[in-house]
Amino acid sequence: MQALSGLSLEQLQSFCLEQGFPKFTARQLCDWMYRKRVGNFDSMTNLSLKIRARLNEIATVGRSAPVDCQTSADGTKKYLFAIQDPQSDGHNHVESVYIPDGDRATLCVSCQRGCKMGCRFCVTGKQGFHGSLDAAAILNQIFSIPESETLSNIVFMGMGEPLDNYDALCQSLQVLTADWGLGWSPHRITVSTVGITPMLRRLLDETQVHVAVSLHNPFADERAAIMPMQKAYPIADIISLLKQYNWFGQRRISFEYTMFRGINDDLVHAAELVRLLKGLRCRVNLIRFHASPEMPYKTSDERTMTAFEDYLNAHGVTCTIRASRGEDIMAACGLLAGKNK
């Protein structure tokens, strides 16, 4: 059965006309699914009984509740969702992370089961790739948690590489930002990427969302050792592309930089970052590496991270150390595995 969540107004209009429904039914569906966040057709009371009965025969809204929730000591929540896939190889769960912070409430959303990018320090990447999510499964993470209506921000930084699932990502972004959908400002949304250059160019041309690039090492050979995609999409090319755009409006570009003890935390690396990012208005977020028994890396100490931060700020690159959230429930950066406990 077809899941209707994730379809645009235009797509829903085509669907309704194919079924012999009035064209205005599409806008009613948008209102119920996206504005009122209703998860079943029977509750859509301004649709005729005949239309509701037909919809129940051929389609679903595409909503399913999380199958598990873990709560961190710091208030972060990690939700586990089951993904229905007849071709599943057993890896049929994804995780999303709810992060409350004062008057902000951010949800970190997954786009894939596993990941193809193979970053050596990432638990998600270590498990390999097991399939992309459709727009309904991506949006379900947003609409099906109890805190759905309190969210202030969405970050596509969960499991998977968002730009490797570009069409489903853009369908989701359209639902979040269109006037027939949630009507959010695109500046409430951030998409993270290792830098798949052709898709990154499309994202920059076709949307106004914020962009976060996983950088982690400014030296090409060292970056390739921990991020294999450096060979296909060099960081120098990614930054050259970003410099072609105007970043002086509300749109924001940031770089994620996970700190590994003795690997990328020397001031030589900081100096190379300054050289690499010269002329680009951006922010560097320093991230503590979250140790896992599966990984050989260690976390940089606080003094080293602070010295690195101070060097970048002193040389004109805005830099902050990101607060770790949810590490005790394996919900912090790089730890999502989609495993049902």
Residues with catalytic annotation?
95, 333
Strands 189-193 and 210-214: parallel
d(C-alpha 76, C-alpha 193), whole Å: 23
d(C-alpha 260, C-alpha 282), whole Å: 22
Q: How far apart are the first and last CA of the chain?
A: 29
d(C-alpha 302, C-alpha 293), whole Å: 21
